[in-house]
Amino acid sequence: MNRNLPVPVKDEAVPYLQKRKHKENKTTLSKFFLILLAVVLLAGIVLCAGKFGLFSFLAGGDAEQTTTGSSTETTTGETTTNLYAFDYEKLSEDALAILPCDLSAWASGNRYHNQTSYDVESLSPQALEVLEQDTVTVLVVNTHPYEAYSEDGAFEYKDGSYVNAGSEENSVAAVAKAFIEALAKRGIRAEYVALSTTSSLHSYEAAYEALTAALAEYPDVRYIVDIHRDILLDDDGNMLRPVTAGEAGTMAQMRLVIGTDADGAPYENWEKGASAALALAEKLTASYPSLLMPTEISRSRLNQHLPVTVFTAEIGTCGNSVEEAVRTAQAFGEVFAAAVTQTDTQ
């Protein structure tokens, strides 16, 4: 979704070497002093050799080690080092960084990002309706089809140059396609609802009309999934790239967004849609613990007042690559399919 929500990047602890303090030997016997001096010199040689990696071959490790990264729990339960390391010295003049970071609910300890005054803690997850028909039962849409991702390997950008689509292959349309393909592998038929929207102006109205027409064409539809990508910056204007490690490679972190009537637009029983989103969030967290960012509680209804269950998903930010977002869409599709067919994700 096209917003600017600064998120501070937490400082990471950097490993350091603590100097040892040697007690002064107060003995007056010269022979003991000479022995102690020899031991200290030998210890100093060993410590220096170890510090510079001269003995690293004994452990089969590399002589050079970085101290800029941290160990982080991943979606696969493994530990990865330096996924979030960044070298500011490689930035071009006047460029801002695209910073890899962990914004997961698991790491922050926050389940929600609540933009309303509603008490969402009182809401309970609700079992999702099971899909059984061999017809189109899911619609997938990009309300903002122009939203796109950074090039793979990008580490900097110019202020204000947020990525919009130059081609579908680098946009949220490619991510939606990956999601649909993941559903198809598990026997769920989904249809993509194409939009020609080029800005956020009246975008939800245009999506509402297109989705209403699609619901008339496909009467067995029970779910709509609206896929976006976010814009997140830190206080210095650096673009945030929320990532976690997966078995197939780095994955963009994602979030679900719950619509409400807080802005005054009518949306009866929004709590029902919220409970469905919470159930899906639980499934995602169970399968991929570090994939999901805190669920956002929006003031807007986000077309979730349509007559079927609507999930709004933000997969990555414009700092992520489309490859990272596609991997996440595939995992999202796997978990979604399991949830609505009551099958295992394996």
Tally Cβ neighbours within 10 Å of residue 178.
Answer: 21
Please state which of the ranges 98-112, 159-173, 301-315 shows the lowest mean pLDDT. 159-173
Task: Give the chain's largest Cα–Cα span.
Answer: 100
In a domain, 264, yes or no: yes
Helices 172-184/322-341 angle, 10° precision: 40
H/E stretch holding 184 reads helix 172-184
Does 35 have pLDDT greater than 90?
Answer: no
SS3 283: helix
pLDDT digits (tens, 9 = 90+) for 160-204: 777 787 789 999 999 999 999 999 999 999 999 999 999 999 999
In a domain, 55, yes or no: no
pLDDT band at 34 (very low <50, low <70, confident <90, very high): low
- Residue 298 sits at the vertex; the CA angle it makes with 297 and 304, to the nearest 5 degrees, is 100
Tally Cβ neighbours within 10 Å of residue 3.
Answer: 11
Measured CA to CA in angstroms, residue 89 lies from 65, 93, 120, 321 at distances of 18, 10, 43, 22
In a domain, 161, yes or no: yes
Whole-number pLDDT of residue 59: 37
In a domain, 232, yes or no: yes
Question: φ, ψ for residue 175 (rounded to 5)?
Answer: -70, -40
Mean pLDDT of the residues in the chain: 83
In a domain, 53, yes or no: no
CATH of the domain at 258: 3.40.630.40
CA distance 195 to 197: 6
Please state which of the ranges 121-135, 169-183, 270-284, 303-317 shows the lowest mean pLDDT. 121-135
Does 52 have pLDDT greater than 60?
Answer: no
Residues 5-24 as b or e (16 or more Cβ within 10 Å = b): eebebeeeeeeeeeeeeeee
Whole-number pLDDT of residue 37: 66
The two beta strands, 96-101 and 156-157, are antiparallel
Whole-number pLDDT of residue 158: 87
Structural domains in the chain (count): 1
Whole-number pLDDT of residue 148: 95
Assess contact for 112 and 123: CB atoms under 8 A: no
pTM to 2 decimals? 0.78
CA distance 146 to 148: 6
Alpha-helix residue ranges (DSSP H) falling in 199-308: 203-217, 270-287
Residues 301-311 as b or e (16 or more Cβ within 10 Å = b): bbbbbbebbbb
Does 7 have pLDDT greater than 70?
Answer: no
Domain that holds residue 308: 80-341
